[in-house]
Structure 1
Amino acid sequence: MSPIVRPVSSKRELAAFLALPRRIYADFADYVAPLDYDRAQLIDPGKSAFWTHGEAAYWLAYDPAGRPVGRISAQVDNLATGPQHEGAGFFGCFDAIDDAEVVAALVATARGYLAGKGKRVMRGPFTLSINAESGLLIEGFTAPPMVLMPWHPPYLRAHLEAAGCHLVKVLHSYAFDRRGSDLGAKLGKLGMERRRKGFSVRPMRMDHLAEDAELGRRLFNGSWAGNWGFVPVSEAEMTAMIKAFRPLLKSEYGVFVEKDGELVGFALFLPNVYEITGDLGGAPSPLGWLRLAWRGLRRPFTGGRAVLFGVASRLVGSVSGASVSLILVDELLRRAGITGVQDLECGWILDDNYAMTSVVEWLGAQSTRRFGVFETSIQPLRAE
């Protein structure tokens, strides 16, 4: 197919851009559509917190009959600084039918846009930030849908590589299943009572939610600043995430570890919203919205994901830092039990973060899915 790629320049085209994945993946049994409303919070320039620190352009690919068959974004993130991001632009919102020409045309378009911005490397996919949805799904296509984890069909990797993009990093997601697990015994072997001495633990304060969210954001940014791909979570992004999930949050979903009055550890768990939205489609009817509201109030969640996890930067790599990490894991699992959650997913974790992967695997976590981050070089535009 020889597709026609056009920029998204109207509200109608943006609506088509948002809805495209659920239309082209409708026949895939393992695909569950997120709400268009939720997608808009990540993508719509008028709603997405990304636009407070970056800029993006969107394109749709059309077949000869004028039907949308693919989409892509190209973005510049002004918070992506430092040597590893030098000359780097990003792409995302990447979805397409099983057609190599469609993918090649989309990649070439995004690459050309970033060349015009003076970028030398294109990396992704990210929607739109690495702190939102990261990577292309390359393993775990049949895993149940999880909050803020993208789904892609298996064929996209080959088409992306054929278009000149190569794999540079793998992101792992692990899941703990509390049903009949021996986590308590394993954590006991690590001497958790001894490790907890000198530390105090508290839940998230729902009456001081904004304050706690800011404390957690700052600690998280300090904790991960030295890691590959790091982009700090902005205040606007943290505020937007808390606002979006506020009706579903409970104090047990946040864990704060303190020592001598100083915050030294933080973790935030989000319930898996697909449990209440998965059967409603991307654009629910009025009755569907009523069902969603009722479920949000009455239905307990059985699964969720740890989306933020950090240790004070001065403790990273130390024995005390390891103790804080284990306390956070222990607390997340304990609190999951309090709220009735049976499946706790931790992701993503870098493939070369052996310290973290060895711990979660020893504790019995199972790898559920892997995401690939890809890069392609950009040829500079020639002066006319």
Structure 2
Amino acid sequence: MSRIEITPVKGIGSFLNFCKVPRLIYKGCKGFAPSLDAERWTLYAAKLNPHYALVDSQAWLARRDGKLVGRIFAQIYKDGIVPVGASPAQFGCLDAIEDEAVVAALIGTAENWLRQRGATRINGPFSPSVNGEVGMLVEGFDATPMIFMPWSPAYLPGLLESRGYHKARDLISYRYAVTAADRTDKPGILARPEWRDRLKIRTIDLTAMKKEAAVLVDVFNDAWSENWGFVPFTFDEFMSVADSMKYVMPPEGGFMVELDGTVQAFGVILPNLHEITADLEGHLFPLGLPKLISRLRSHNFKTARLLLFGIRRALHRKAAGGAVILAFIEECRRRSRAKDSVEHVEFGWVLEDNMGMRRPIELSGAKIDKIHRVYEKDLVA
């Protein structure tokens, strides 16, 4: 019988292996696109991602007969940090070959580590947090792979469920197909007399990101504060994301919606980098970086993703809130006209029970494209 070995990630060598496991075991799978290794380093390295100051964490690698076959990560939030409705004990980055014994060994290791720290319930995957890549793909395996959205093979949910895990929440991602009508300039809500002087839209100033970030974090945390799984996005976390995004975010990619002179909502749309990085197979060095820079300058992206969105809670389910959301959608359409090549935008993700957000998205004509699931298990039983 082949031997499965689970080892903790310690040192630079095992950390680099941890980051590249998905592209090693999922290579060639339809719907999978490898992320750049360098981008994964900024996401999972404790010294580069401020999220890790909020948790105690550990990652592991799985090998079978010496070959990398999987990975997992576990974390528990420090005292005083409690996710809304979810457990502070979480797992993430569960990737494995189609082997029940490998998955059982990985998830068992994470569970035991959390039990030793007093955990009675576990949720996941959070990779590494609710403000990162969340959930396990359960629908949309062949859909267009999208930047900063997790992908997993169709066999993995079943293997996890066989270990006693059940659904906690589903996260919905929508595909909005850009139509000829979207490229037609026509009067919108900003032209209506009752909103003309009240609603304003401005582009996020990337040259004054620290100042802008203070407003964005405030709106984001207020908007999401009652959502399941919410943990406040810290200023340092946001700036860490912003520092990474500034290299790939187009000048028109971020904007704010003001109502009566106060910022009430914002959005950030990124081009789907998988279009220009798939053939790099995760490598930036030595030849990948110049290729990436050249392609960023010249490529006409066909797909994009609404990466961040927030609207202040006080406007939820109110007429003014509906006007702000409508202005936001119209602005997305208007900006798509500046990028005639974009064929579809992914809106994601939205909690399945957040109908206040889902309804206007669906009224815009967007269709469900992917569903990611966050799981739960009672560790005491």
TM-score strictly above 0.5: yes
1:51 lines up with 2:49 in the alignment = no
Aligned to 1:134: 134
Letter in 1 for 2:365: G
Moved more, 76-85 or 100-109: 76-85
1:182 CA displacement: 6.1
1:179 CA displacement: 3.4
Q: Is the partner of 2:233 in helix, strand or coil?
A: coil
Aligned to 1:294: 294
Q: Distance in 2 between matches of 1:300 and 1:54?
A: 40
The verdict on how the C-alpha distance between 1:182 and 1:329 changes in structure 2, with shifts beyond 3 A counting, is closer
CA RMSD of aligned residues (A): 2.2
Q: Distance in 1 between matches of 2:84 and 2:327?
A: 33
Q: How many residues align?
A: 376
Q: Distance in 2 between matches of 1:213 and 1:272?
A: 23
1:329 CA displacement: 1.6
Q: Is the partner of 2:151 in helix, strand or coil?
A: coil
1:152 lines up with 2:152 in the alignment = yes
1:99 lines up with 2:99 in the alignment = yes
1:61 lines up with 2:62 in the alignment = yes
Q: Distance in 1 between matches of 2:300 and 2:213?
A: 23
1:180 CA displacement: 3.2
Q: Distance in 2 between matches of 1:212 and 1:83?
A: 26
Moved more, 130-139 or 312-321: 312-321
Q: Which runs of 5+ in 2 are unaligned?
A: none
1:285 CA displacement: 4.5
Moved more, 345-354 or 328-337: 328-337
Aligned to 1:193: 191
Contact 2:317 2:356 in 1 (8 A): no
Q: Distance in 1 between matches of 2:181 and 2:113?
A: 50
The verdict on how the C-alpha distance between 1:304 and 1:214 changes in structure 2, with shifts beyond 3 A counting, is farther
Letter in 2 for 1:193: A
Letter in 2 for 1:297: R
TM-score, structure 2 normalization: 0.92
Q: Distance in 1 between matches of 2:41 and 2:183?
A: 38
Contact 1:183 1:364 in 2 (8 A): no
Aligned to 1:13: 14
Moved more, 168-177 or 311-320: 311-320
Aligned to 2:180: 180
1:272 CA displacement: 1.3
1:203 CA displacement: 1.0
Q: Distance in 2 between matches of 1:4 and 1:181?
A: 56
Aligned to 1:268: 268
1:16 CA displacement: 1.1
Q: Distance in 2 between matches of 1:82 and 1:269?
A: 26
Letter in 2 for 1:335: R
Q: Which runs of 5+ in 1 are unaligned?
A: none
The verdict on how the C-alpha distance between 1:80 and 1:307 changes in structure 2, with shifts beyond 3 A counting, is farther
Contact 1:42 1:50 in 2 (8 A): no
Q: Distance in 2 between matches of 1:323 and 1:258?
A: 11
Q: Distance in 1 between matches of 2:33 and 2:159?
A: 22
1:307 lines up with 2:300 in the alignment = no
Contact 1:183 1:363 in 2 (8 A): no
Q: 1:352-379, CA deviations, whole angstroms, 9 ceiling, x for partnerless residues?
A: 2223222222221121111010011112
Q: 1:49-99, CA deviations, whole angstroms, 9 ceiling, x for partnerless residues?
A: 221322320011111x111211100012347426624x5311001100001
The verdict on how the C-alpha distance between 1:138 and 1:83 changes in structure 2, with shifts beyond 3 A counting, is closer
Q: 1:225-271, CA deviations, whole angstroms, 9 ceiling, x for partnerless residues?
A: 01111112111121111111112223321121112321111111122
Identity of aligned residues (%): 33
Letter in 2 for 1:49: P
Q: 1:288-326, CA deviations, whole angstroms, 9 ceiling, x for partnerless residues?
A: 221111112332333221122111222222111111111
The verdict on how the C-alpha distance between 1:108 and 1:184 changes in structure 2, with shifts beyond 3 A counting, is farther
Letter in 1 for 2:95: D
Aligned to 1:254: 254
TM-score, structure 1 normalization: 0.92
1:167 lines up with 2:176 in the alignment = no
Letter in 2 for 1:366: K
1:331 CA displacement: 1.0
Q: Distance in 2 between matches of 1:355 and 1:235?
A: 27
Letter in 2 for 1:373: V
Aligned to 2:362: 361
Contact 2:84 2:229 in 1 (8 A): no
Q: 1:177-232, CA deviations, whole angstroms, 9 ceiling, x for partnerless residues?
A: 113356979x97x8563363311111111322221122112101101101111112
Q: Is the partner of 2:232 in helix, strand or coil?
A: coil
Q: Distance in 2 between matches of 1:202 and 1:77?
A: 36
